[in-house]
C-alpha cells in the first residue's frame, strides 16, 4: 500500500513581511517553499481558491506572497495502490482479495481541494460497493482462487470504467485482483512479521543513532559551556591580578590550570567513549549476518536492546560527571564570593582607620592653631604693654607731668587696653586731626566722674584712671609723629 499519495507534503505559509528601503514590498523567503521533484507539482491556496504552480519562483511573486498554504502533489503515472478485503467463499474459510489500482493524478487542484489523503480508503469503499461482489465470490471454492481472480478483475475493470467519477482528480487505470488462499495468507503474514521485525530493528537502529547524535550535541554544548567558563575565569583572573596583586594571581593561575587539567581529562574520556561507540558498534555486522541467515532476527533485536542499555549507561555516566562538574563550579563560585566579601571588609576597615586618623589629625591641627593664636595674642599684649611703658617714660622725661601730681603706682601698674577693643586711647588720639586733639583730651565730664575718680581733682590733680586720657590729649600727637618718622 503506497503511503503519502497523492498528497506528498502540506505546509502552512505564514504572512509575509514588508521589506526594502526604497521600495517597500512583500517578499517571501524561497526556503519556505518545498522543492518539488520531477513528477510532483505544487498547489497554492489563496483564500478559498487553489492555484497550481506555473513555474514562477520569484520571492516577490504575488502567488507566493499571498498564498496561505502549499501542497506537494505526486503526478506520477500509474502509481499502484493496493487495498485488501475479505469476501465469503463457498466454504467456511473466506477469500482475501488484494486489489491493485493503477492511479494517475489528472487534476492536482481537485485533489488538494478534496483533501484526498486516504486514497486506499476511497478505493476500498469502491471495491466493497461493487455490485454482486459477495454473490460472485460465494460461488467459488478455496481451490478456485484463480477463477475468482479472473472474474473479479473483469467486473472491477468494467465497473471502474463505468463509474470513474467521485475520485476527485485521480484517474484509475488497470485493475489487478489477487485472491489469497489461507496458505498464502499465512505465508504473507509470516513475510509481514519478518518485515515488521526488520522495520523494528531499523527503528531501534535509528533510535540508537539518534541517541548518539543527541549525546554528541550535548557534548558539543558542554564543551562550549566549558570554553565560556574558561574565558570568564580568565577575565576574573586578570581582574583579581590587578586588584589583589601577584599572590592572588598565582592562586588563580593554579586554579585555572586545575580546571584546564580536569577539562583535558574530561575531553580524553569523552573522546575514548566516542571512539568506542563508533568503532565498536556491531549493528552493521549483525544486520549482514542476519541477511545471510547466520543469526535470527530475535538475536539481532536482543543485541540492539543490549546496545541501547549500554548507551543509556554511558549517558548516565555523562550526566553524573556533568552534575559533579556543576557542583565543583558552584563551590568555586561560593569561594570567590567569600573572598570578595573578605576583601571588601578589609577595604572598609582601612577606610574607617584612615577616616579616624584624618579626624585626629584635624583635631591636632585645630588645637595647634588655637594655641598659636593664643600665643600671638599674648605676644601682642606684651608688645602693647612695652609700647605703653615706653610712651609713659618718654612723656615723663619731657616734663609733661611736672605740674601735675601723678602717683607712681598708677604709672607702673597701669595695664594696656584690652586687645579686643578696636583702638587704644593713644591710637584714637593719633588718628585725630591736630585741631581735634584738645576735644579728645578734655571730654565733657559726666555726672559722677569726680566720684569715680575719672575727672580732674579740685587742686588740678589727675586721678590714675584719667592719666591715659591726659597723656593722649597732651603730647601724644608728637609721639605719634616721631614714631611715624622712625
Query: Three-state DSSP class for 373?
Result: helix
* Confidence at 311, pLDDT banded by 50, 70, 90: confident
Looking at 398-420, list the stretches that DSSP marks H as alpha helix, in order from N- to C-terminal side: 408-413
Where residue 310 falls among pLDDT bands split at 50, 70, 90?
confident
The stretch 244-249 carries a mean pLDDT of 66
Of 117-126, 292-301, 336-345, give the lowest mean pLDDT range. 292-301
pLDDT at 280 over 80: no
Give CA–CA dist 168/172, Å, rounded: 11
DSSP 415: P
Q: Quick one: angle between helices 182-244 and 283-292, nearest 10?
A: 170
Select the more confidently predicted residue: 10 or 466: 10
Task: Give the pLDDT band of residue 378 (cuts 50, 70, 90).
Answer: very high
Cα 412 from Cα 408, distance rounded (Å): 6
Other Cβ atoms within 10 Å of 314 Cβ, number = 17
| pLDDT-derived band at 56, boundaries 50, 70, 90 | low
Contacts of 428 (CB under 8 A, 6+ apart): 440, 472
Confidence of residue 381 (pLDDT cuts 50, 70, 90): very high
What does the pLDDT average to over 458-483? 45
Q: 29 vs 247, which has greater pLDDT? A: 29
| pLDDT bucket at 446, cuts 50 / 70 / 90 | very low
What's the mean pLDDT when you consider all of the chain? 76
Please state which of the ranges 84-93, 403-412, 443-452 shows the lowest mean pLDDT: 443-452
- Three-state DSSP at 236 gives helix
**Rounded distance between C-alpha atoms, residue 461 and residue 156, angstroms:** 169
Mean pLDDT of the region 202-228: 90
Q: Compute the distance between CA of residue 355 and CA of residue 347 in angstroms, rounded to an integer.
A: 12
pLDDT at 458 over 50: no
How buried is 286 (Cβ within 10 angstroms: 0-12 exposed, 13-18 middle, 19+ buried)? buried
Contact 181, 142 (CB under 8 A): yes
> 140 vs 84, 149, 178, 337, 443, CA distance in Å?
18, 10, 14, 91, 167
Q: pLDDT at position 312, please? A: 86
Lowest mean pLDDT among 127-136, 229-238, 381-390, 414-423: 414-423
Parallel, antiparallel, or unpaired: how do β-strands 79-87 and 7-12 relate? unpaired
Q: Which of 81, 45, 78 is nearest to 63 (CA)?
A: 45
Checking if the pLDDT of 12 tops 90, the result is no
Q: Count how many residues are written for the chain.
A: 486
Q: What is the pLDDT of residue 273?
A: 61
pLDDT for the residue 352? 92
Q: 43 and 109 in contact (C-beta within 8 Å)?
A: yes
Determine which of 49-63, 147-161, 388-402, 407-421 has the lowest per-residue pLDDT on average.
407-421
pTM, two decimals, is 0.38
The separation between CA 452 and the C-alpha centre of its own chain, rounded to angstroms, equals 95
Taking only the tens place, the pLDDT of each residue in 109-157 is 999 988 888 888 888 888 888 888 888 888 888 778 888 889 988 888 8
d(CA 72, CA 34): 8
- The percentage of the chain sitting over the pLDDT mark of 70, rounded to a whole number, equals 70
Give residue 368's pLDDT.
93
CA 314, CA 273: separation in Å to the nearest integer?
A: 8
Is the pLDDT at 55 greater than 50, yes or no? Answer: yes
Mean pLDDT of 59-69: 77
Contact 201, 297 (CB under 8 A): yes
Output the CA–CA distances (angstroms, integers) from residue 193 to 40, 82, 189, 196, 290, in the order listed: 33, 19, 6, 5, 15
Reply yes or no on whether the pLDDT at 21 is more than 70: no
Nearest to 96 by CA among 159, 162, 148, 173: 148
Cell 549507561 belongs to 313
Amino acid at each position: 500500500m503506497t503511503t503519502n499519495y497523492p498528497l506528498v507534503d502540506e505546509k502552512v505559509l505564514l504572512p509575509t513581511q514588508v521589506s526594502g528601503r526604497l521600495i517597500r514590498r512583500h517578499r517571501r523567503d524561497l526556503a519556505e517553499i518545498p522543492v518539488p521533484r520531477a513528477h510532483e507539482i505544487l498547489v497554492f491556496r489563496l483564500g478559498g481558491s487553489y492555484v497550481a504552480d506555473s513555474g514562477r519562483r520569484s520571492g516577490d511573486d504575488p502567488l507566493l506572497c499571498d498564498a496561505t498554504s502549499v501542497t506537494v502533489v505526486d503526478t506520477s503515472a500509474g502509481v499502484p495502490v493496493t487495498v485488501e478485503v475479505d469476501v465469503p467463499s463457498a466454504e467456511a474459510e473466506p477469500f482475501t482479495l488484494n486489489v491493485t489500482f493503477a492511479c494517475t493524478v489528472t487534476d492536482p487542484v481537485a485533489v488538494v481541494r478534496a483533501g484526498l489523503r486516504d486514497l486506499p480508503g476511497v478505493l476500498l469503499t469502491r471495491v466493497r460497493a461493487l455490485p454482486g461482489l459477495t454473490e460472485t465470490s460465494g460461488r467459488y471454492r478455496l481451490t478456485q482462487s484463480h477463477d475468482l481472480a479472473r472474474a473479479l478483475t473483469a467486473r472491477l475493470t468494467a465497473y471502474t470504467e463505468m463509474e470513474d467519477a467521485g475520485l476527485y482528480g485521480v484517474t484509475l487505470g488497470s485493475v489487478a485482483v489477487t485472491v489469497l488462499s489461507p496458505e498464502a495468507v499465512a505465508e504473507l503474514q509470516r513475510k509481514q512479521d519478518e518485515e515488521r521485525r526488520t522495520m523494528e530493528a531499523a527503528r531501534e537502529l535509528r533510535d540508537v543513532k539518534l541517541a548518539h547524535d543527541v549525546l554528541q550535541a550535548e557534548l558539543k554544548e558542554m564543551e562550549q559551556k566549558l570554553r565560556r567558563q574558561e574565558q570568564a575565569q580568565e577575565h576574573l583572573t586578570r581582574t583579581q591580578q590587578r586588584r589583589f596583586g601577584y599572590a592572588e594571581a598565582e592562586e588563580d593561575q593554579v586554579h585555572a590550570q586545575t580546571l584546564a587539567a580536569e577539562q583535558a581529562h574530561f575531553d580524553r574520556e569523552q573522546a575514548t567513549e566516542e571512539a568506542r561507540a563508533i568503532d565498536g558498534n556491531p549493528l552493521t555486522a549483525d544486520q549482514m549476518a542476519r541477511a545471510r541467515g547466520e543469526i535470527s532476527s530475535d538475536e539481532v533485536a536482543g543485541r540492539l536492546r543490549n546496545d541501547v542499555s549500554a548507551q543509556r549507561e554511558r549517558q548516565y555516566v555523562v550526566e553524573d560527571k556533568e552534575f559533579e562538574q556543576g557542583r565543583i563550579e558552584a563551590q568555586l563560585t561560593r569561594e570567590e564570593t567569600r573572598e570578595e566579601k573578605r576583601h571588601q571588609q578589609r577595604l572598609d576597615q582601612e577606610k574607617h582607620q584612615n577616616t579616624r586618623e584624618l579626624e585626629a589629625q584635624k583635631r591636632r591641627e585645630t588645637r595647634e592653631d588655637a594655641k598659636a593664636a593664643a600665643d600671638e595674642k599674648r605676644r601682642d599684649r606684651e608688645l602693647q604693654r612695652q609700647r605703653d611703658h615706653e610712651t609713659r617714660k618718654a612723656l615723663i622725661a619731657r616734663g609733661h607731668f611736672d605740674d601735675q601730681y601723678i602717683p607712681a603706682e598708677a604709672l607702673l601698674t597701669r595695664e594696656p587696653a584690652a586687645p579686643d577693643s578696636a583702638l587704644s586711647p593713644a591710637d584714637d588720639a593719633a588718628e585725630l586731626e591736630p585741631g581735634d586733639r584738645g576735644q579728645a583730651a578734655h571730654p565733657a565730664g559726666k555726672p559722677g566722674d569726680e566720684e569715680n575718680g575719672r575727672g580732674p581733682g579740685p587742686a588740678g590733680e589727675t586721678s590714675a584712671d584719667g592719666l591715659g586720657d591726659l597723656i593722649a590729649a597732651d603730647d601724644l600727637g608728637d609721639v605719634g609723629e616721631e614714631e611715624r618718622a622712625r
